[in-house]
Amino acid sequence: MVTKGNVFDPNCPTRVILDRIGDKWTVLAVLLLRDGPLRFTELRDGIGRVAPKVLTQTLRRMERDGLITREVFAEIPPRVVYTLTPLGTSLIAPISVLSDWAENHMPAITTAQTRYDAAV
Residue by residue, pLDDT tens for the chain (120 residues) are 668 899 999 999 999 899 999 999 999 999 999 999 999 999 999 999 999 999 999 999 999 999 999 999 999 988 999 999 999 999 999 999 999 999 999 999 999 999 999 999
Handedness of CA 90, 93, 97, 102 (dihedral sign): positive
Handedness of CA 99, 82, 47, 34 (dihedral sign): negative
pTM score of the predicted model = 0.90
Query: Measured on CA atoms in the order 103, 107, 109, 110, is the torsion positive or negative?
Result: positive
